[in-house]
Amino acid sequence: MKDQTRQYINGEWVESSSGKTIDVINPATGEAFGRIAKGNADDVDKAVNAAHDVYIEFRNTPVEERREMLDRIVNEYENRKDDLIEAITDELGSPIDKSEKVHYQMGLNHFAAARDALDSFEFEEQRGENLVVKEAIGVAGLITPWNFPTNQTSLKLAAAFAAGSPIVLKPSEETPFAAVILAEIFDKAGVPKGVFNLVNGDGEGVGNPLSEHPKVRMMSFTGSGRTGAKIMEKASVDFKKVSLELGGKSPLIILEDANVDDAAFTAVQKVVNNTGQVCTAGTRTLIPESMKDEFLEKVKEKMADVKVGNPREEGVKMGPLISRKQYDTVQSYINKGVEEGATLYHGGAGQPEGMTEGFYVKPTVFSDVDNKMTIAQEEIFGPVMSVIAYKDLDEAIALANDTKYGLAGYVFGEDAETLKKVARSIEAGTVEINNAKGGADLPFGGYKQSGIGREWGDFGIDEFLEVKSIKGYFK
Ligand code: NAD
């Protein structure tokens, strides 16, 4: 058993006031493999006060000092590579090569991107005889989900440190060990005491008191819309700033001149990556009616190559879902798809053949999906693709935007003008053309119910800043 039942507050590992713990489950086995503290309001209060005590000092550190601190964090993060990969594989059930190439790497990229953004970030600007200053907002509360244990935490932490905001982090209680390693990394990298505080626990015991604490000036949250709304409500009492990264139901549009084989490959990847537990997953595939049959054949071929199994086994492409609860949710959506009249084309309910333990599911494809169906409107957070046929480009764009979400969109085709038109028409914070990859310096966030604000790189730093006008500064 991995026992890490202390909190990291004011530069020290301390016992939680609650004396209670939470078991952490390995989703590949369904068994507990570790324990963390089940923190409470008293832990939160101590952590917020520690952060508040150093707020002015940290805010006023020279930018170069914060840049050097981020550089030391990058080095320490690299030193802990193997530990991070192990922790993510155990707590999330991510295939081990993805734990390295995706999860470990994304966390590293965010610290490096925030460091590099400081080279050109303008914190001050002269306007006539006046000065406009951007300065850290104050103590920030960070609450993160389980699906990308290093990415979601690191992108917020990197931005807050670059901005000069001390923070209190509450990571998901389902994947807390990567965050414990981050605490060790910051400790080793010489992050000043009070600047980083880790309070483990659940939403009720830690997330709630953090969201309502009067000394917290900003809540930065990634997770479900349901929880985001609760945090916003709590934060509204004393008008804290909120930054929310919520769910998605992203369209993947295949145009008439697209290479069907390439599009099918990417469509499958977008659905099975991280076992579909990706907020930007392209789970609504929009395809011209005339290309549907060929596309489905190709999808079936590609799905057959997706080896589902133990995350530590070589060649495994898809591990288990995070929990029994998530398994049940995905099952109920698959059953709902059948009930509402979609055609179950591949996969289906139940565990893959021969698998009895862990939270494994079958990659599943529905065809003949109407965009009004539940499986096309709600975020499933599992490897389930809905294939929706369209007649012409206008209908494709209308279907793409017929959703309460607006996190991401994908478009495949050859004609550059049509690709650009579609990309500009999708109501979403990120659009990928022909599987193009961008760096951690591009802004990330959602339109509509996918969130409020933008993270990553310089946009992420901006989230943690207030703006002050000093009139007559240069008089
Ligand atoms: P969740 O909302 O259940 O939990 C997220 C975090 O909030 C956890 O740390 C949890 O303990 C905490 N929490 C729960 N109740 C709380 C409360 N009342 N007050 C304060 N904190 C509380 O989400 P999840 O199941 O961990 O993650 C899945 C969701 O996250 C999906 O909807 C997914 O789309 C979304 N997500 C969004 C992005 C993005 O960038 N837009 C990225 C990843 C995940």
* Tens digit of each residue's pLDDT (9 = 90 or more) over 150-180: 999 999 999 999 999 999 999 999 999 999 9
Two structure tokens written together for 317: 């492409």
Strand order in the sheet with 251-254: 343-346, 364-367, 384-390, 284-288, 251-254, 408-412, 430-433
Two structure tokens written together for 179: 């965050």
pLDDT of residue 242: 98
Please name the amino acid found at residue 52. H
Q: From the CB of 172, is ligand 1 less than 6 Å away?
A: yes
Classify each residue of 190-209 as buried b or exposed e, where b means 16 or more C-beta atoms within 10 Å of its C-beta. ebebbbbbbbbbebebbbbb
Ligand 1: residue of 36, 44, 144, 147 to mutate (most ligand atoms within 8 A of CB) is 147
Q: How far apart are CA 262 and CA 353, in angstroms?
A: 28
Angle between helices 63-79 and 151-163 (to 10 degrees): 160
Low-confidence spans in the chain with pLDDT less than 50? none
> What is the three-state SS of 270-306?
HHHHHHHCCCCCCCEEEEEHHHHHHHHHHHHHHHHCC
> What are the structural domains of the chain?
2-246+450-470 (3.40.605.10), 251-439 (3.40.309.10)
Pairing verdict, β 408-412 and 251-254: parallel
Q: How far apart are CA 359 and CA 26, in angstroms?
A: 10
Two structure tokens written together for 86: 């192990």
pLDDT of residue 472: 98
Q: From the CB of 205, is ligand 1 less than 6 Å away?
A: no
Q: Tell me the pLDDT tens digit for each residue of 181-224.
A: 999 999 999 999 999 999 999 999 999 999 999 999 999 999 99
The one catalytic residue in 91, 245, 427, 432 is: 245
CA 246 to ligand 1 center in whole angstroms: 8
pLDDT of residue 463: 98
Two structure tokens written together for 104: 């470990």
Q: Could you give the 3-state DSSP secondary structure of residue 217? A: strand
* Residue having the nearest C-alpha atom to atom 36 of ligand 1: 223
Q: Could you give phi then psi for residue 164, rounded to 5 degrees?
A: 100, 25
Q: Residue 31, Cβ neighbours under 10 Å: how many?
A: 11
Q: From the CB of 222, is ligand 1 less than 6 Å away?
A: yes
Q: From the CB of 255, is ligand 1 less than 6 Å away?
A: no
* Residue having the nearest C-alpha atom to atom 22 of ligand 1: 203
Residues 6 or more apart from 236 whose CB is under 8 A from it?
A: none
- Among this protein's residues, is 245 annotated catalytic? yes
Among residues 357, 351, 48, 425, the alpha carbon closest in space to that of 199 is found at 48
Q: From the CB of 208, is ligand 1 less than 6 Å away?
A: yes
Q: From the CB of 143, is ligand 1 less than 6 Å away?
A: yes
Among residues 193, 225, 197, 224, the alpha carbon closest in space to that of 213 is found at 197
Q: From the CB of 223, is ligand 1 less than 6 Å away?
A: yes
Q: How far apart are CA 472 and CA 475, in angstroms?
A: 5
pLDDT of residue 365: 98
Q: Could you give the 3-state DSSP secondary structure of residue 218? A: strand
Going by the DSSP 8-state scheme, the letter that residue 101 receives in this structure is I
Residue recorded with tokens 């193009």 = 436
Which atom of ligand 1 is the closest one to the Cα of 228?
A: 2
Q: How far apart are CA 124 and CA 161, in angstroms?
A: 18
pLDDT of residue 371: 98
Among residues 222, 218, 226, the alpha carbon closest in space to that of 242 is found at 218
pLDDT of residue 234: 98
Whole-number Cα distances in Å, 117 to 113, 414, 460: 6, 34, 10
Q: How far apart are CA 251 and CA 281, in angstroms?
A: 9
Degrees to nearest 5, angle at CA 453 with 447 and 458: 125
Two structure tokens written together for 85: 């990969």
Among residues 210, 223, 277, the alpha carbon closest in space to that of 451 is found at 223
Which atom of ligand 1 is the closest one to the Cα of 226?
A: 2
* Residue having the nearest C-alpha atom to atom 40 of ligand 1: 245
Going by the DSSP 8-state scheme, the letter that residue 138 receives in this structure is S
CA 334 to ligand 1 center in whole angstroms: 22
- Helix (H) or strand (E) run with residue 174 in it: none
pLDDT of residue 305: 93
CA 228 to ligand 1 center in whole angstroms: 7
